[in-house]
Amino acid sequence: MWFLIVLLVIILIIAFKSIKIVKQAEVYIIERLGKYHKTADAGLTIIIPFFDHVRSVVSLKQQTMDIPPQGVITKDNVTITIDTVVFYKVTDPAKAVYEIQSLRKGIEYLAITTIRDIVGKMDLDETFSSRDMINDKLRVILDEATDQWGCKVDRVEIKDITPPADIRDAMEKQMNAERNKRAAILQAEGDRQSAITIAEGQKEAAILAAEAERESRIRRATGEAEAIKMVAEAKAQEVELVYSAMKKANPNETLVQLKSLEALKEVANGQANKVFIPFDATKALGSLGAITEVIKNKNSK
């Protein structure tokens, strides 16, 4: 009876040791007599007790690893602290177990040395403006180096770059100076544009005023010319009427001369300093002088 119980217990122990259930996204590295035997995928796996044993359980999930913040000296001799995270995935579980003592430690040390090598060839300002380039270089170098360990590095991200306190203060002052400079430039550009706009407006206003004055003078001159023309036409009509009337009346020479004398009288009563006597009027005056002499001679006789 005791024998059967002991046998049953031994069978249960053997069954427990023989049957392994592998979870999803994991694999078992199975060794037989101390030597690699197989890689057990997800599901039910049977092994031989006392001959086979599980060396390691390897996850096939995407894994992340924070690299401790590292002090790195840049090309211009400034010590900065860089915090990095690595995203990797095991592609060959057997290599990840047998090719390196600790995969995570290997990735960490390799990332630290690579960061120091890359950043050590760059200036401080370049490290802040070239994060994507640093990330890409790190990923390529780590992926090539870890390929022999059955690992693929998918991404490398720099979480933070921290310069010394005095450098941060200097950078903040520089940024403030740059902001003030840009603000002053924008203000000056705005004032310049405003002055140009005002000057252009004044220029256009002056041009419009000059054109309006010119148009006004032209219209005024045109009106005066029209008025003069109308007056001249009226005078011409009057002269024409007088001439026609005199022509119809058929005046003799004596009447014409008397009318000329009347005209001279009117002219002499004017405000002019000089009086121009027409040639015909002088003839009339001469005739009058002759008549006066004849009358005087008759009276003396």
User: What letter represents residue 221's amino acid?
Assistant: A
Residue that terminates a domain, selected from 147, 163, 179: 163
**Same structural domain for residues 25 and 69?**
no
**Same structural domain for residues 152 and 120?**
yes
Residue 177 lies in a domain: no
Block mean pLDDT (10 aa), the chain, length 301: 76 78 89 89 85 89 90 87 92 91 91 90 85 91 91 91 78 76 85 87 85 84 80 69 62 57 53 47 48 48 50
Residue 271 lies in a domain: yes
Residue 284: per-residue pLDDT:
47
Residue 168 lies in a domain: no
Contact 279, 256 (CB under 8 A): no
**Same structural domain for residues 158 and 95?**
yes
pTM above 0.75, yes or no: no
Residue 4: per-residue pLDDT:
76
Residue that terminates a domain, selected from 22, 37, 59: 59
Domain count along the chain: 3
**Same structural domain for residues 28 and 79?**
no
Instruction: Report helix angle 103-119 to 131-146, nearest 10.
Output: 140
Residue 232 lies in a domain: no
Residue that terminates a domain, selected from 132, 163, 194: 163
Residue 44: per-residue pLDDT:
86
**Same structural domain for residues 55 and 105?**
no
How far out from the chain centre does Cα 294 lie? 111
**Same structural domain for residues 43 and 67?**
no
Residue 28 lies in a domain: yes
Strand partners, 226: none
**Same structural domain for residues 69 and 145?**
yes
**Same structural domain for residues 44 and 69?**
no
CATH of the domain at 83: 3.30.479.30
**Same structural domain for residues 155 and 115?**
yes
Exposure string of 182-202, with b = 16+ CB inside 10 Å and e = fewer, is eeeeeeeeeeeeeeeeeeeee
> Which residue range forms the structural domain that includes residue 261?
251-301
Residue 151 lies in a domain: yes
Residue 227 lies in a domain: no
**Same structural domain for residues 55 and 69?**
no
**Same structural domain for residues 92 and 153?**
yes
Residue 266 lies in a domain: yes
CA distance 153 to 90: 9
Residue 292: per-residue pLDDT:
46
**Same structural domain for residues 133 and 41?**
no
CA distance 66 to 50: 39
SS (H, E, C) the chain: CHHHHHHHHHHHHHHHHHEEEECCCEEEEEEECCEEEEEECCEEEECCCCCEEEEEEEECCCEEEEEEEEEEECCCCCEEEEEEEEEEEECCHHHHHHCCCCHHHHHHHHHHHHHHHHHCCCCHHHHHHCHHHHHHHHHHHHHHHHHHHCEEEEEEEEEEEECCHHHHHHHHHHHHHHHHHHHHHHHHHHHHHHHHHHHHHHHHHHHHHHHHHHHHHHHHHHHHHHHHHHHHHHHHHHHHHHHHHHHHHCCCHHHHHHHHHHHHHHHHCCCCCCCCCCHHHHHHHHHHHHHHHHHHHHHHC
